[in-house]
Amino acid sequence: MLYWDLDGVLRILGSHVLGYEPKNWHDTYNGKTIIELVNEHPELCATCPESEYLSIVNEKLSNIIILTNQLDDWIPFTEIWLRRHIKIPYDVVYTKSGEHKLKYLKKHDILIEDFPNFFSYDNIALITRNYNKKLVVPLRISNTIEFNNFITKYMR
């Protein structure tokens, strides 16, 4: 089974909030992290741009399951974003941590993700972002061509 992270994979939250692509996971704007800024303005979750990969997902797949960490105040705005941008049937599992996501996966499942702090990347297809470029992982996707090839291969 293939699972999808939301922020950094299908939706671009960090750059939308900070005004630039974060160089590390804990970048700040005026001394506040992305999470702190979104907690002050959860409506930002409804207005984020799509990632460069979402159009391929909408075009090539018939449905998706999203595993995403969202704070309770973010969820209504995330639901608005999902309804506006995901053009195929989808299910969402709201998780509480990266560890929670990994526990959700079974042996041969793959999670397409950008998070740079998992203890294991065995079931992760890592979407390259500035904050995870230095990680050595078994499976990395760095552009839309690699992404398209991965999806095509996975669909066989």
Show me where the domains of the chain are located: 2-155
Q: Which CATH number fits the domain 2-155, given the four candidates 3.30.499, 2.60.40, 3.40.50, 3.40.710?
A: 3.40.50
Are 34 and 74 in contact, with CB atoms under 8 Å apart? no
Report pLDDT for 46. Answer: 98
Report pLDDT for 53. Answer: 98
**DSSP H helical ranges for the chain:** 14-18, 34-40, 54-60, 75-85, 98-104, 144-155
Positive or negative, the Cα torsion across 130, 136, 137, 142?
positive
How far apart (Å, rounded) are the C-alpha atoms in residues 8 and 115? Answer: 8
Q: If DSSP codes are grouped into helix, strand and coil, which group holds residue 134?
A: coil
For residue 126, the number of C-alpha atoms closer than 13 Å in the C-beta half-sphere is 20
How far apart (Å, rounded) are the C-alpha atoms in residues 101 and 118? Answer: 10
pTM: 0.95
Report pLDDT for 154. Answer: 87
Report pLDDT for 155. Answer: 82
pLDDT along the chain (156 residues), means of 10: 97 94 90 95 98 97 97 98 98 96 96 97 97 97 98 88
How far apart (Å, rounded) are the C-alpha atoms in residues 25 and 117? Answer: 9
Which H or E element spans position 94?
strand 90-95
pLDDT tens digits, 43-80 = 999 999 999 999 999 999 999 999 999 999 999 999 99
